[in-house]
Amino acid sequence: METQEVANRVLPHDTGAEQAFLGALIIDPPALDTAITLLAESDFFDVRHRTIFRAIRRLWEARSAIDTITIANFFKDHGLVKDAGGVEYLNEILDATPTAANVTYYAKIVRDKALLRSLIKAAGEIANTAMRADQDVSSISNYAENLLFEITNRNLTQSYEGIQNIVHASIKIIQDFRNRNGKIGLTTGFSDFDRLTGGLTGGQLIIIAGRPGSGKTAFCLNMASRIAIESKRPILIFSLEMQKEELGVRLLTSEAKVDNSRIKQSLLSQADMNQLIYAADRLYETQIVIDDKPNITVNEIRAKSRRVMSERGDLALIIIDYMQLVDGPEDIPRYDRYNIISDVSRSLKYLAKELNVPVIALSQLSRKIEDRSDRRPMLSDLRESGAIEQDADIVAFIHRNYIYTKDESEKNIAELLIRKHRNGPQGEIPLHFRGECMRFDDGVRRAEE
């Protein structure tokens, strides 16, 4: 369709619905407290209706009586009589309103038409941006996708709720927690972690941090494969450091419990191959999706997460490996690492809440930990930003003393140290680590525990 043809068309609107909504507010003032929040002034197509809605809203905010007389006086006091179509137009609106009972239905019609107009405007902005040659295709594509998403996902619904409904929902959560033996979220396959946290739940930002070589990638891959196999739901992994084929080999060897070095040295036995084939069959039935684009931005992560959710259904988990490699917004200089990581951390928390999906972000630790005699990580060791601690619901550290001491007796000993837990206790979880196949399993608790 030609641009000129679109320009010559009248934009979508419904004059009758706009009139009926405004008339309902005048006829039934008690409905105002609920109905007036359903629409914004910009949702009305007709300038007269925008002016009338503004008057009603201002009177409502001032706790004044609302009828044709008070509205007409408002017009006169503010010089809006002409913009409102004259005082007599108020009577036309009342005559055109069949009933105040359908006010929410009228609001939906008006809102839907406003949405269509916004989409048309956005399409024009996208077209104009695409016509310019001063930006690369990926930037334009991200801009277009984000613009459309913001429009189509505007939430004009009520964001508050009475205590009665909240208590009812809370009791249900408690009952579920009891019925599922303390687990209300996704079970990760690590029993002590699930016991302590209740499993992973939508909206959470979980930080898994550790020094290089501690096994944080392996731990999250183990968690991902177990959740994927158990839940049958999609899991999205953003790997900014390793290629997807490398992750594939890790997933296979971990699931098969096969020594990774035997693959590289061509020493695989038939038993090894049988285990790998069995593991491949198990993983083949999952919905694990891996994106290994380097230098990815949070907006790209957001767009791709929405796309996977749209294509595959209810996402179970998003993993970012690792957050210090995520590109910050263009308006923050690349050398300003503190503000970049702060923005990334905050954006990942928003993503978790927006999609109602748990997001696990891996994080590096600062090197100052190596200067201490006790190298067990603390929250202050999170690299480059205290905002990570602030935004996260759970902060857990992978700790293996072996990487510092090289004591063979500690080679398979690991701990997951939960140092922040917004909705529960902190704790130290023993793990067993098999480095040859990059696999973590539940550890054995010491007798004194």
In whole angstroms, what is the distance from residue 48 CA to residue 250 CA?
64
Rounded CA separation 328/342 (Å):
9
Q: Which pair of tokens denotes residue 50?
A: 């925008």
Place of tokens 């007409």: 72
- Residue 167 CA, chain-centre distance (Å), reads 25
Report yes or no: 186 and 203 within 8 Å, Cβ to Cβ: no
For residue 155, give Cα distances in angstroms to 40, 45, 98. Answer: 12, 19, 28
**Residue in the structure block whose two tokens are 């209300």:** 184
Q: Is 241 a catalytic residue?
A: yes
- Residue 253: CA count within 13 A, CB half-sphere: 21
Q: List the structure tokens of 45.
A: 């197509």
* Number of other residues whose CB lies within 10 A of the CB of residue 261: 12
Query: Residue 148: which of 113, 187, 121, 177 has the closest Cα?
Result: 121
Q: Which residues pair with 291 in a beta bridge?
A: 238
Parallel, antiparallel, or unpaired for β 427-434 and 413-421?
antiparallel
From the candidates 241, 246, 354, 410, give the one annotated as an active-site residue: 241
Kindly list the distances between the CA atom of residue 342 and the CA atoms of 14, 161, 334, 387, in Å, as whole numbers in the listed order. 44, 31, 13, 5
- Just list the catalytic residues: 241
